[in-house]
Structure 1
Amino acid sequence: MSVLDPQHEAGTSAALAARFERLPFTGYRKRLAAILATCFMIDGVDLNMLSFLLAPISADLGLSKGAAAWAASASFIGMGVGATCAGLIADRFGRRLVLVNSMLLWGTASLLTAFAWDLQSFLVFRIVTGIGLGAELPVAFALLAEFMPAGRRARLTGWVQVAGAAGLVAFNALSLLVVAVGGTVFGWRAMFVVMFFTALFALIARRRVPESPRWYAAHGRPGEADAVLSEIERRTEQEYGKPLPEPVSVAPAPDREPSRNVLRELFAPGYAGRTLLAWAMWLVIMLAFYGITTWVGKLLVDRGMSVSKSILVGLLISAAGLPAAWLTGWLMDRVGRKAVLSGALVLVAAGAFAYGHAATFTLVVVAGAVMQFALTGVATSLYAYTPELFPTRTRGTGMGTASTAGRISAITGPLLVPVVLVAWGYTGTFLAFACCFAVGALLVLAFGPESRGRVLEEVSA
């Protein structure tokens, strides 16, 4: 993979890290973070929008509960394929290539979804949409980790989540308006057209994101790494208004010969445990995460709540994610990754249990807000923590395969909900979700390394 010897490559990566760490945090990197935030916002909007449009989609296309479960899970099939393939492509050919072109795919597929005429066409278009969505997230968070300083990585991930949560609030409000004004048939189709125009906007914005200098260095291309970082330094110094500080001292990672097989390197000595931890975290946590978020709207309707009122509940509880994302990122940089992630998992388990027992509109909103607060904290923690577990040469693949593990659970979770409902009822379903989150907390506490305040090269060593 690399044309440099390991010692040269390690020294180059350490030198780049030293230059990155000394950069003042100016508007340039804030703008990069804002552009990358569109990836999470769009993924969250698509998931949440489908949750509260699943009832009108089912009514329009005449879907049974089983068919509705497949409609809810179709995009996750594509996301699993897209995440792993995009991770491999991003590690081999570059982050920016995937980040930009994923827009074209899911934007076009979203437009086609608006014209779906039956279950089969809806499933095909949603799978293709999922491939595009799945491709962008692992790459976006790998880039966020590689561009941002060690002391701010988690906080910036939190701000990315704030942008995502704000997008959820806005799109839930828009869904409520469109369905109320346009009716169920026109309303859900109009929302997918809106997603197409959102993709066009994101495509234009993301063309301004440069390739990662760390990726260039990991592939034995120090000249291009230096050129990109020099441009970042130039823009930063221009906004800073005075000469940049001297580079900080960063020790190079121990020498090791990189494998030409990226997937095999995930299980190289020192990384196998981290890879298994990442996969296990995403599998068990996302099983409950997507089971809740995909079905919550339809379950409320099935319990007698109107479609409009269920969307209103979604609007109210999604607002709880705004402070949670910022607070989680801030705490992770202050307290540590493990403590915050495990704490959020325990809180979401308690919130899910309370939500399952809520009997009135007020209790549903309060318990749902606690649950959404903690869910946002969990998502923020996972997206900040997982890229830190892998070295640059496998970060895209590691993040992509972990995300795919999560997408497997995203498919399984919604499909299991009707079965669990029959066996254990509404309350038992949310109790099962709570147990999944508790298991996730134990995994993090028992096996997770701490990465707070450490540069990527030090953590991945």
Structure 2
Amino acid sequence: MSVLDPQHETSGTSTAANIAARFERLPFTGYQKRLAAVLATCFMIDGIDLNMLSFLLAPISADLGLSKGAAAWAASAGFIGMGVGATCAGLLADRFGRRLVLVNSMLLWGTASLLTAFAWNLSSFMAFRILTGIGLGAELPVAFALLAEFMPAARRARLTGWVQVAGSTGLVAFNALSLLAVAVAGAVAGWRAMFVVMFVTALFALYVRRQVPESPRWYAAQGRHDRAEAVMAELEDKVERASGGPLPEPVPVAAAQPRQAAGNLVHELFSRGYARRTLLAWSMWLVIMLAFYGITTWTGKLLVDRGMSVSKSILVGLLISAAGIPAAWLTGYAMDRIGRKAVLTAALALVAVAAFAYGHASTFALVVLAGAIMQFALVGVATSLYAYTPELFPTRTRGTGMGTASTAGRISAIVGPLLVPVTLLAWGYTGTFLAFACCFVVSALLVLVFGPESRGRVLEEVSG
């Protein structure tokens, strides 16, 4: 099955080019679809936990007796942990492997979710949510690094879109389940039951450990060429059996000569050629996530504060979140056909307009309509970010780059919800959403001016 005898590999560059060529020649079969489905399920479960506080914050606040300010800290606690988890996981994934970090991160946040179900006050709730956040923050960047490294250049964004479809579908299902739990069990028992459900879903990690192999690209970047060859040959064998015929011959890929490694993974992010990309990634995640989580975390509670019942606010969330399902697929497809920069910029511009309209919506129908458009655009932005960011970094620092960018976003995810009570007091409901709209406009300008285009290019070419 091997294209080149590994004993004839003369450098890490030739090994990386060999692995890339062999990935690109693989027909897209049920085997790759299963791998993508496993990673999509990881993201779906992760995304449910990230978003569920938006529509459970009101009953949690009532049960634990939280003021508006305390509720803001409760909402932000998970993101504190995510900031720590994302950076640490990125470094660990680049040192010890993607799969190891992915599996253990799921087990960590699942256990912490179970503990959260028994929180008795603000301090205990925050402590358990920080622990949950460490696991969640570790899982996401590693899962998307794996997805980028396993999938062909022509399908990377599209498959990221399908992963987001799974996430949006799971969110719709979760909001429906939350509505049922609160209606049947009551506000107190309902929100606690949902955290127990999250613990059960985290046991999916045991399946991931058996089904997802380590990345051959990571083995090659570590100089472990025998392991890269062995895993790549196993992948080729499974794809050949799934396709029912012999594999086509590999076509040489334009893998650029990588720059000399800086030794320290974090220092390498700021080495010549990568510093601009690192600053772009960090800036995008900082500005976008400030508005993203400022909006999404408080949506449900703000609706309740404006006079809606808890059940009706969750129903609005259910209707709004459904709009994200087609958005994820359309975004991924458009990024592979049109380009990363154009699609990400368009999604940012649309969410800015929709956020402004949402802030002015005065009736239930207008709230749902503006919210659905905003959710459509937000999912488009998230899909674009998760497809684009891993492509900016070389394999040897992809986990660190993705992790630190994600950490930059988590800093904003902490600040965003905390800013909402302040901006509401100063500028009102409309002014708050106008401020968030401006954040998306700034992000669009950053992408237009500084972002490289990576459509249709193998990872080794983009990051060389």
- TM-score (normalizing by structure 1): 0.98
Aligned match of 1:246 in 249, 252, 258?
249
CA distance, structure 1, for counterparts of residue 346 and residue 61 of structure 2: 37
Aligned match of 1:118 = 121
Deviations along 1:360-405, one digit per CA (max 9) or x if unpaired, are 0000000000000000000000000000000000000000000000
Show structure 1 runs of 4+ deviating over 2 A: 201-207
Pairing 1:1-80 to 2, within 5 Å after superposition: 8-80=11-83
Asked if residue 445 in structure 1 is aligned to residue 457 in structure 2, the reply is no
Pairing 1:356-371 to 2, within 5 Å after superposition: 356-371=359-374
Aligned match of 1:219 = 222
Gap runs ≥5 in structure 2: 1-6
Deviations along 1:420-446, one digit per CA (max 9) or x if unpaired, are 000000000000000000000000000
- Does structure 1 retain, via aligned residues, the 8 Å contact 2:327–2:380? yes
CA distance, structure 1, for counterparts of residue 449 and residue 337 of structure 2: 21
Deviations along 1:161-192, one digit per CA (max 9) or x if unpaired, are 00000000000000000000100110000000
Q: CA deviation at 1:203?
A: 3.3
Asked if residue 432 in structure 1 is aligned to residue 447 in structure 2, the reply is no
Partner secondary structure for residue 456 of structure 2: coil
CA distance, structure 2, for counterparts of residue 319 and residue 95 of structure 1: 31
Asked if residue 326 in structure 1 is aligned to residue 326 in structure 2, the reply is no
Pairing 1:2-401 to 2, within 5 Å after superposition: 8-401=11-404
CA distance, structure 2, for counterparts of residue 253 and residue 218 of structure 1: 14
- Does structure 2 retain, via aligned residues, the 8 Å contact 1:35–1:206? no
Aligned match of 2:423 = 420
Partner secondary structure for residue 204 of structure 2: helix
CA distance, structure 2, for counterparts of residue 99 and residue 246 of structure 1: 33
- Does structure 2 retain, via aligned residues, the 8 Å contact 1:76–1:408? yes
CA distance, structure 2, for counterparts of residue 239 and residue 297 of structure 1: 45
CA distance, structure 2, for counterparts of residue 355 and residue 150 of structure 1: 37
Q: CA deviation at 1:250?
A: 1.2
Partner secondary structure for residue 246 of structure 1: coil
Deviations along 1:13-43, one digit per CA (max 9) or x if unpaired, are 0000000000000011111111111232122
CA distance, structure 2, for counterparts of residue 396 and residue 248 of structure 1: 27
Describe the shift of the 1:459–1:298 C-alpha distance in structure 2 as closer, same or farther (beyond 3 A): same
- Does structure 2 retain, via aligned residues, the 8 Å contact 1:82–1:132? yes
CA distance, structure 2, for counterparts of residue 268 and residue 398 of structure 1: 12
- Does structure 2 retain, via aligned residues, the 8 Å contact 1:38–1:202? no
Q: CA deviation at 1:117?
A: 0.4
- Does structure 2 retain, via aligned residues, the 8 Å contact 1:100–1:207? no
Deviations along 1:89-112, one digit per CA (max 9) or x if unpaired, are 000110011011111100000000
CA distance, structure 2, for counterparts of residue 117 and residue 230 of structure 1: 52
Deviations along 1:284-319, one digit per CA (max 9) or x if unpaired, are 000000000000000000000000000000000000
CA distance, structure 2, for counterparts of residue 42 and residue 440 of structure 1: 28
CA distance, structure 1, for counterparts of residue 344 and residue 130 of structure 2: 30
Aligned match of 2:414 in 411, 416, 424?
411
Counterpart residue type for residue 286 of structure 1: M
Describe the shift of the 1:420–1:98 C-alpha distance in structure 2 as closer, same or farther (beyond 3 A): same
- TM-score (normalizing by structure 2): 0.97
Partner secondary structure for residue 210 of structure 1: coil
Deviations along 1:40-77, one digit per CA (max 9) or x if unpaired, are 21222112211000000000000000000000000000
Q: CA deviation at 1:258?
A: 1.3
- Does structure 1 retain, via aligned residues, the 8 Å contact 2:78–2:131? yes
Gap runs ≥5 in structure 1: none
- Does structure 1 retain, via aligned residues, the 8 Å contact 2:82–2:137? yes
Aligned match of 2:4 = none
Partner secondary structure for residue 263 of structure 1: helix
Q: CA deviation at 1:259?
A: 2.1
Q: CA deviation at 1:255?
A: 5.0
Deviations along 1:231-278, one digit per CA (max 9) or x if unpaired, are 110000001111000011113422532122000000111000000000
CA distance, structure 1, for counterparts of residue 388 and residue 255 of structure 2: 21
- Does structure 2 retain, via aligned residues, the 8 Å contact 1:338–1:448? yes
CA distance, structure 1, for counterparts of residue 358 and residue 297 of structure 2: 15
Aligned length: 457
CA distance, structure 2, for counterparts of residue 204 and residue 17 of structure 1: 27
CA distance, structure 1, for counterparts of residue 359 and residue 228 of structure 2: 52
Counterpart residue type for residue 52 of structure 1: F
Describe the shift of the 1:365–1:18 C-alpha distance in structure 2 as closer, same or farther (beyond 3 A): same
Q: CA deviation at 1:206?
A: 4.2
Greater Cα shift, 217-226 or 44-53? 44-53
Partner secondary structure for residue 253 of structure 2: coil
Counterpart residue type for residue 22 of structure 1: R
CA distance, structure 2, for counterparts of residue 20 and residue 250 of structure 1: 10
CA distance, structure 1, for counterparts of residue 337 and residue 209 of structure 2: 30
Partner secondary structure for residue 203 of structure 2: helix
Kindly, what percent of the aligned residue pairs are identical?
Answer: 82
CA distance, structure 2, for counterparts of residue 48 and residue 144 of structure 1: 22
Counterpart residue type for residue 302 of structure 1: D
CA distance, structure 2, for counterparts of residue 102 and residue 18 of structure 1: 31
